[in-house]
Chains A and B, each alone.
Chain A
């Protein structure tokens, strides 16, 4: 079985974000890490490989900083890694990124399963996995919390996926796109041996030509969405009003009156 995991790098979730007067976004001293949601996808790929045999390839469309995400995935246990980049890919929305990823998957060729994290913690669109599935014409099994059955020979997968009202059980043919979510597994920590392997590994760079992508369909030119303005949210006005009655009961009664006055209860 050939499993491909798509990943990207993001600032750490604790990063203090800021925007300067020119509109440039900064995450300060915070490190770039693998998108935390992608760790669930990598872990699931490794579990499935160890159960069914095969290879796990991790893919990222990104400039050199994307190596951070690829290295982490290899340190966790992925077998191969591919980075795809061309300066023309800069400024892409999910329409353009999904095009490059779909082309990359087609170039890899023998893919049975394509895994994604639920979303990326930077732009948080949740869109790329669904868009790639649509481009490839593969089933999209987003928000999967459990792979109930996987039959590589019979080319079928059954998953439980999270919707607002509960879990939908879906059966689909392979190849398929699976979007993972928290709860599907507990991502492993990287081992010393894994980190050494990741440090020694070669990370091939594929160009647009390598994957057969047309330059006018990538990056800003291939995107539908533009984001001309990024700003800090307005600061909340005022401090919390600390309610300190003589007794707990008095504090509780004062708070209830405040909430009634706010018309929120």
Chain B
């Protein structure tokens, strides 16, 4: 076994996922302490070559690059097969993967191939006697669990978006790019991707620095208008509570909470959201939480850093106007 740390770089149509650079940052810290290198795996379709230098600028020493049509659309079979093959050969100490939909599918498949453990959704990593000790939330963040992979290698880790700092890219950094070939041919792959329907809205909740969410208090689909306007002014992603989604006012893709997305922005604005424990589970790690609610007893005020008690249809437009004035 080496002291190297492998990472998997996620991309969609050649666009990298921000969490992959965060994963490289986390891998860099582990590798520096262990005295190893960071090896980034960039496996995609035509045009992903440009991500190789980008991965190096974020801290990778070596990039394993595979450019092939079988790897263009994400499918776990060819990605896991190739990742397992390069990991078997290099025997790294750990493999760090962003905990996205794709990453949380890939990690356990790789773990099965290699007969090792995969610690999901890590929010902190440290080393103790050369072994990774990972912290991860369980029971919707009501508890924190420290996990290790004591007897097997590599240690596979998926890292939650925004839990690790994205390194400052250094375009002058140099590294080695090695070409690798896919392990599976198209005929060996069971899944075929036959289409893709893009989601509305461009800001991903998991990667968002600011989220503005509406809940039951917005009263209806048109009630989301002031919330949406505030989100636009802030360049924020638009979220919703389960109550608003179940009422049909917002699509499920916007739902924050235990049965929706888990988010950790710098700023979370909850408008007309009472703050049920299931909602808190999805946003409690936000750095600054602002609550606007007409009920001063709403549980969200127990979690919030700043609160305004009042009618959101007055407070939210006033906030929007004040922001436009201050931010120009």
Q: Chain B's interface: helix, strand, loop or mixed, by majority?
A: mixed
A168-B306 in contact given A131-B109, A163-B101, A224-B117 (Cβ < 8 Å): no
Asked if A167 and B199 sit within 8 Å, CB to CB, the answer is yes
Instruction: State whether the Cβ of A122 lies closer than 8 Å to any Cβ in chain B.
Output: yes
Instruction: State whether the Cβ of A77 lies closer than 8 Å to any Cβ in chain B.
Output: no
Asked if A255 and B306 sit within 8 Å, CB to CB, the answer is yes
Chain B interface residue count, Cβ-Cβ cutoff 8 angstroms: 92
Instruction: State whether the Cβ of B105 lies closer than 8 Å to any Cβ in chain A.
Output: yes
Asked if A131 and B12 sit within 8 Å, CB to CB, the answer is no
Asked if A170 and B192 sit within 8 Å, CB to CB, the answer is yes
Asked if A121 and B139 sit within 8 Å, CB to CB, the answer is yes
A165-B306 in contact given A13-B140, A131-B112, A224-B152 (Cβ < 8 Å): no
Instruction: State whether the Cβ of A55 lies closer than 8 Å to any Cβ in chain B.
Output: no
A158-B141 in contact given A95-B118, A240-B301 (Cβ < 8 Å): no
Chain A residues whose CB sits within 8 angstroms of the CB of B278 once the complex forms: 13-14
Stretch from B1-9, B26-34, B163-171, B252-260 forming part of the interface with A: B252-260
User: Which among B102, B196, B198, B304 has the highest number of chain A CB atoms within 10 Å?
Assistant: B196
Q: Digit string of B9-37 for contact with A (CB within 8 Å is 1, else 0)?
A: 00010000100000000000000000000
A242-B112 in contact given A143-B101, A163-B101, A182-B252 (Cβ < 8 Å): no
Instruction: State whether the Cβ of B302 lies closer than 8 Å to any Cβ in chain A.
Output: yes
Chain B residues whose CB sits within 8 angstroms of the CB of A166 once the complex forms: 196-199
Chain A residues whose CB sits within 8 angstroms of the CB of B195 once the complex forms: 168-169
Asked if B113 and A165 sit within 8 Å, CB to CB, the answer is no
Question: In the complex the two chains form, what is the Cα distance from A195 to B307 in whole Å?
Answer: 45
Chain A residues whose CB sits within 8 angstroms of the CB of B50 once the complex forms: none
Which chain B residue has the least Cβ–Cβ distance from A139? Answer: B190
A169-B143 in contact given A244-B309, A264-B267 (Cβ < 8 Å): no
Chain A residues whose CB sits within 8 angstroms of the CB of B115 once the complex forms: 95, 224
Question: In the complex the two chains form, what is the Cα distance from A242 to B301 in whole Å?
Answer: 8
Which chain B residue has the least Cβ–Cβ distance from A127? Answer: B108
Stretch from A44-52, A205-213, A226-234 forming part of the interface with B: A226-234
Instruction: State whether the Cβ of B138 lies closer than 8 Å to any Cβ in chain A.
Output: yes
| CB-CB contacts below 8 Å: B259-285 with A | 259-260, 266-267, 277-278
Which chain A residue has the least Cβ–Cβ distance from B259? Answer: A182
14 contacts between A and B (CB under 8 A): A95-B108, A128-B108, A139-B77, A162-B101, A168-B73, A169-B194, A171-B191, A182-B260, A226-B150, A230-B144, A230-B145, A232-B143, A252-B318, A262-B267
5 additional A-B pairs beyond A95-B108, A248-B314, beta carbons within 8 Å, are A170-B75, A170-B192, A182-B260, A224-B111, A224-B151
